Chain A
Amino acid sequence: KNEVEQSPQNLTAQEGEFITINCSYSVGISALHWLQQHPGGGIVSLFMLSSGKKKHGRLIATINIQEKHSSLHITASHPRDSAVYICAVTNYGGSQGNLIFGKGTKLSVKP
C-alpha cells in the first residue's frame, strides 16, 4: 500500500463545476503539499499546510491531521485548471527531509 493515496485518479469536469481531490496518508507528517503539474512537466507548489485550511484565489486546501486526510477544492473550475494535481507529504522526523508523493490526479475541465 502506498503511503500517500489520491483519489480520484482521473477527473473530468465541466467548466464552472466545483471540484474536490482527496489525499490520504499513512505516515506521520510535518507538512502536506499540493502541487500542480502542467502538460509540459514543470511543477508548481500550490499549498503547504500542517493544519486547518488555506485559500488562494479559487483554490482551497484543507487538512485533518487526526484523520490523516487532505482535500483540494477548486471553485468555478476553468479549462486552464486542467493539469495533474499531486499530493505530497514531508515525513515527520525523517532525516532526509524529503517528500513522499501520491501518484497524482489528472483533471480535465471541458469548456
Chain B
Amino acid sequence: DGGITQSPKYLFRKEGQNVTLSCEQNLNHDAMYWYRQDPGQGLRLIYYSHIVNDFQKGDIAEGYSVSREKKESFPLTVTSAQKNPTAFYLCASSDHRGRFDYGYTFGSGTRLTVV
C-alpha cells in the first residue's frame, strides 16, 4: 500500500544535540512538506520541497535543515539552534504541488522531546 512512513514515532534527545527525523513516501509525489504542531496551535510549515534537489523555507525554518536527494525521502534535522524543539512533527506529501484538485497524504508523526 502507498503511503508515508515517519520514524521514529517517539524520540528523546538531550539539549544541544542535533536529531534527524525520517520521512519516506512511496506515492511518487513530487511535493513534500514538514509541519510542526504545538498544543493549542495549528500546524505550521517548516520546510517544503516541490522537486528533488530543491527545497524552500517555510514560516518557521530557523533551527531546522532538510535535504531532498531522492524523490521519496525528505529528512528533517532539528539542530541545536532550534530554541524550543519539543513538539510533534508531521510530514506530508502531495502531487502537483498541492494545487487545485490534488490532495495531501500525511504521515503518522514523530513526537520529539528534548530534555
List A residues at the B interface (Cβ < 8 Å). Answer: 2, 4, 30-31, 33, 35, 40-45, 48, 50, 86, 88, 90, 96-104
Contact = CB atoms under 8 A, between A and B. Distances in A.
Interface stretch (B35-43, B60-68, B70-78): B35-43
Given A45-B105, A48-B101, A104 B111 contact: no
A40 B40 CA distance: 16
Given A42-B109, A43-B90, A97 B97 contact: yes
A103 B45 CA distance: 14
B18 interface: no
Interface of B: 31, 33, 35, 37, 40-45, 48, 50, 56, 58, 88, 90, 92, 94, 97-101, 103-109, 111
Contacts of B109: 40-43
Given A40-B108, A42-B109, A97-B94, A104 B42 contact: yes
A98 B45 contact: yes
B81 to A, nearest CB: 23
Nearest to B110: A41
Contact of B106 (A30, A43, A102): A43
A98 B41 contact: no
9 contacts: A35-B106, A40-B109, A41-B108, A41-B109, A45-B104, A97-B31, A97-B94, A98-B33, A98-B48
